[in-house]
Amino acid sequence: MVKVTFPDGSAKEYEPGITAAQVAADVSPRLAKAAVAARIDGVLHDLTTMLAADCALEIVTEDSPEGLEVLRHSASHVMADAVTRLRKNVKLAIGPAISDGFYYDFDLEEPLTPDDLSQIEKQMASIAAADLPFERIELSREEAIRRMREAGEEFKVELLEEIPDDRVTLYKHGDFVDLCRGPHVPSTRHIGYYKMLSLAGAYWRGDEKNKMLQRVYGSAFPRKKQLEEHLEKLEEAKRRDHRKLGRELDLFSVHQEVGSGLIHWHPKGAMIRHIIEDFWIREHLKRGYHLVYTPHIASERTYQISGHLENYIESMYGPMMIDEEPYRLKPMNCTGHIFIYKTKKRSYRELPIRYAELGTVYRYERSGVLRGMLRVRGFTQDDAHIFCTPEQLVDEVYGVIELSDFMMRSFGYRYKTYIATRPEKAMGSEEVWEVAISRLREAAERFDLEYEMDHGGGVFYGPKIDIKLVDALDNEWQGPTIQVDFNMPERFDVNYTGTDGTEHRVVMVHRTVLGSMERFVGGLIEHYGGRFPLWLAPVQARVMAITDKQNEYAHKVLGQLLAEEVRAEGDLRREKLSAKIRDAELEKIPYMLIVGEREQENGSVSVRTKSDGDIGSMEVADLIVRIREEVDQKK
């Protein structure tokens, strides 16, 4: 008999050769219906896997993260089958499940169009209705290469030639066969509710030197309601897209004539950035930071010492020759701060020293991944570097966590936290890395900060705390990052004089709170859907005259507001009031101040807000007090 142990610790014996699906049915018909895969001794398998020896068994259901991934990957196979039925001479690349769905990359003689997505869905429906079982085929790598070469599947052959294992697996349903590790749902009818979403171009293996393929995106869920909710979320994301709102609200632009990935800030977008930067500067000065500025270029020798040329060169621009010496556009601000620190001898009594800079840096990004303000080639980091003693390190990291928490709450974000450990490509000994990781954990736990470990996610010179912002649609954005670095002080010989009168190495903390201004503002646009809280709104109030007779009074009101530092503007066009209100609402102006004959006589304004509608007449002085209170409360 085979002893099967379940996750709750209970166990039961079965005849050898029973499948995981049969065990699920024995446990509960409801469990069997929801089952899509099985975890046997910690490894995912198909439900058809036979149990030949004692084992630990967990039935993976469609609602679990792993179950949803299995369902979506299976849907990608069915989608690929549908495409091969609609097009001739299709070559298959890859088709993984992703965080919110799946995709498949194809090499097609005749490209698909958006109109073809519905045809793909119809074919998928036919394949699903046929209830074709997913069959696992294990064979030698050489035999798999032979089969794929005969089928003309050059991309699969390339993948197989790089697999080190002697045995590989294919999966088959009906006449469709694909290279795959699996597992898959039992049959095609189990792929749930699905929707084909979009088409895109994708280079094979993400390399611009390789062939451009066509990528088809889709999503799938176990239940229809889940899919409908997801599709509505996607529609809301389209409405909030910062590129769309950036045009509509006149915030920023990108010009191909200038170059991809380079942001032009328009007056309203620049005002939002100014408000954020001013807030950032004031909060840093309160916490003992010193503002610095460093050049945009530096000698290549600097980046040889820092390790960037060795570990980061694929993201750097240059070299450019100046006086027969190679220079680089800076990808980071840290080396400049190090040189400022080293301009004189430092005592332990001066530490910690905290340098902060809104520094513009430049990093190469492939054209295919550039996306508005969120992925760019030139951006301004809210950067800072802390030079401290080893004994001060935990306190300094704690201080950065506190500042990050304050800033994120001020901007209306929830967040998740990760501690990222040593990557494969790294400088320094493992012992030094372990000390740095332990200090990060100590600071996080002192702050009662919940975190997950991100194994291998650190930067080449040290581990880090990553704080991911969670926006109104539950999307995660890169936010604050706190990196502990014992390596760069060693490379640049960065020291302080200790209590014993001898020199000791400093510890560096590299940190950003907002990340890049471009990405942060782009994220804010989507988080608020362009309806910024009053303290961030580039225009807080618009004064609207009902007729030309009130223009002089409207100018007077506008002057009062501007004198009190309310960001206001006037609308004195010869348009109907309804048109002026509509335009202000489309531009998402928080306060609409209407002045007519009665308001002129009373020295007041009629107030409409984006949230409460018409709230009646107010004295201008009272309105200014209300606006100030709302701004102070970060509303």
Q: Which residue has the tokens 């954005």?
A: 477
Peptide bond into 319 cis (omega under 30): yes
Question: E strands within 155-260?
Answer: 167-173, 176-179, 193-203, 212-221, 252-254
Give the whole-angstrom CA distance, residue 120 versus residue 196: 8
Q: Which of 173, 215, 363, 422 is catalytic?
A: 363
Cα dihedral 176, 77, 196, 114 sign: negative
CA dihedral defined by 522, 523, 525, 528, rounded to 10 degrees?
180
Angle at 310 between CA 478 and CA 429, to 5 degrees: 80
Q: How far apart are CA 194 and CA 8, in angstroms?
A: 33
Q: Tell me whether residue 180 is one of the annotated catalytic residues.
A: no
Helix or strand or coil: residue 217?
strand
Catalytic residue among 136, 377, 464, 567: 464
Distance CA 28, CA 571 (A): 68
Residue of 123, 381, 550, 600 with catalytic role? 381
Q: Which residue's structure tokens are 């309203």? A: 268
Q: Which amino acid does the sequence have at 137?
A: I
Please give the sequence-ordered ranges of beta strands (E in DSSP) within 486-596, or none if there are none. 495-497, 503-505, 507-516, 541-545, 568-571, 591-595
| Catalytic position from the list 46, 116, 241, 383 | 383
588 in catalytic set: no
Residue 335 CB partners (closer than 8 Å, separation 6+): 298, 302, 303, 305, 306, 492
Asked whether 558 and 623 are in contact (CB, 8 A), the reply is: no
464 is a catalytic site residue: yes
- For the question of residue 510 being annotated catalytic, the response is yes
Q: CA distances (Å), 372 to each of 3, 280, 318, in order? A: 57, 23, 24
Quick check: is 381 catalytic? yes
CA proximity to 105, closest of 221, 234, 218, 238: 218
Q: Which of 334, 527, 550, 571 is catalytic?
A: 334
**Phi, psi dihedral angles at 136 (to 5 degrees):** -90, 125
- 266 in active site: no
Q: 416 catalytic, yes or no?
A: no
440 CB contacts (<8 Å, ≥6 apart)?
397, 419, 463, 464, 465, 482, 484
- The catalytic site residues sit at 334, 363, 381, 383, 385, 464, 510
